[in-house]
Amino acid sequence: MTDDVPPHSRRTTLADVAARVGVSAITVSRALRRPDMVSEPLRKRIAEAVGELGYVPDPAARALASRRSNVIGVIIPSITNNVFSDVLTGIYDTLEGTAYDIQLGNSRYNAAKEEALLRVFLSQRPAGLIVTGFDQSPAARRLLETAGCPIVQIMETGGNPVDMMVGFSHFDAAGAATRHLIAQGYRAPAFIGARMDPRSQRRFQGYRAATTEAGVFSEARVLTTADPSNVSLGARLFAELLARAPETDAVLCNNDDLALGVLFEARRQGMEIPGRLGLCGFNDLEMMACAEPPVSSVRTFRQQMGQQGSEMLLARLNGQEPEQRLVNLGYELIVRQSTLR
């Protein structure tokens, strides 16, 4: 590799395109951003020149001049969690091809970190913001309220939205799953939860309300941890649960990873599902349908959350109002063999 200074050609600017067409730079700028303000033939000639010169606008210059970047900030609590990678996919799919870039922040289930990310994002004057849930720190909440850009809170409903919101009720969803177990005749349904972030807490509350209502709630059958969720943890927690509450005849898991761990551990212990143990997961990841036996779960619409959230943002950024500011995507209880007695 010869180290001759690369011909670091000056980048093609608006002015270059303008000179080529014989108009002023500002007209080219308008042809690109507000085509309706430029006459048809001129617009075509400009488009041609843009193509020939391979002109690409400089987002930094644009951001500086307009005091508004094309960045949409997205803050999620985890990248590896399947739930959020599905949400992200929805967001990327929707925002791709628009003028907006995504800036992803990982809050690691930590409100202080979320607040810090928010500050960083806001320093870029983002076009919009997508944040997870409504359990921001008070300071973060204030930052959101004065952000001066459209904001979508995803993953939940309720909680006095800052601006727009799309999600579902974790309380209701977990309640529905619990009532299903009870309706199947399980009299000692347990709850296994990991991570126990705010949404997990609300799922637990849904379980608690439903079991209490049916008179089958017992502290002994609740096993939660702040540790991050994974399959092995599900297996370990289930073993612990059995030791502590051997009467357990069903388990509602906070998510499908845990449920898969329970499935494996139950098999190791020779417990039949659903005969000896009912098992229900949460989120309905693809694998649940294919497991042996297939595992019941609460389907959540993760990709749609990302998609709709992004669409709401885009509507606002286009100066329209989204059809609804608050969207409840609901959930769907998917009953499979693992909970059929």
Partner DNA sequence: CTCGCCTATGACAGCGCTGTCATTACTTGA
Partner DNA sequence: TCAAGTAATGACAGCGCTGTCATAGGCGAG
Residues that bind its own copies (CB under 8 A): 6, 8, 56-61, 63-64, 69, 79-80, 82, 85-86, 88-89, 92, 96, 101-104, 106, 119-120, 123-125, 146, 148, 230-232, 234-235, 257, 260-261, 264-265, 267-268, 286-287, 289-292
Closest contact distance (angstroms) between CB of 126 and its own copies is: 11
Strand partners, 280: 252, 296
* Residue 302 in contact with DNA, rule: CB under 7 A: no
Q: Which amino acid is at 322?
A: P
CB of 303 to its own copies, least distance (A): 9
- Pick the closest to residue 16 from 55, 43, 45, 51 (CA basis): 55
Q: Could you tell me which stretch among 11-19, 90-98, 174-182, 249-257 binds DNA (CB under 7 A)? A: 11-19
Q: How many other CB atoms are there within 10 angstroms of residue 250's CB atom?
A: 28
In the complex, what is the shortest distance from the CB of residue 35 to DNA, in angstroms, rounded to a whole number? 10
Answer yes or no whether residue 10 interacts with DNA by CB under 7 A.
yes
Detail the DSSP E strand segments found in 18-137. 71-76, 101-106, 128-132
14 binds DNA (CB under 7 A): yes
Cβ-in-10-Å burial (0-12, 13-18, 19+) of 141 comes to middle
Structure tokens at 33: 């951003």
Applying CB under 7 A, among 39, 212, 232, 324 the residue interacting with DNA is: 39
Binding at 226: pick from its own copies, DNA, none (beta carbon under 5-8 Å per type): none
In 3D space, the residue among 115, 210, 273, 74 whose CA is nearest the CA of residue 265 turns out to be 273
- Is the preceding omega at residue 161 within 30 degrees of 0, hence cis? no
Residue of 19, 42, 196, 214 that binds DNA (CB under 7 A): 42
List the single partner that 318 binds among DNA, its own copies, none, CB under 5 to 8 Å by kind: none
Burial class (CB in 10 A: 0-12, 13-18, 19+), 204: buried
Euclidean distance between CA atoms 321 and 313, whole angstroms: 9
Q: Provide the minimum distance between the beta carbon of 205 and its own copies in the complex, in angstroms, as a whole number.
A: 28
Q: How do 151-154 and 164-167 pair as beta strands? A: parallel
- What's the distance, CA 219 to chain centroid? 31
Site residues (CB under 7 A) for DNA, limited to 58-97: 58, 61-62, 64-68
- According to DSSP, the β-strands at 101-106 and 71-76 are parallel
Cβ-based nearer residue to DNA, 23 or 152 = 23
Note the residues at the interface with DNA (CB under 7 A).
10-11, 13-15, 23-27, 29-30, 32-33, 36-39, 42, 55, 57-58, 61-62, 64-68
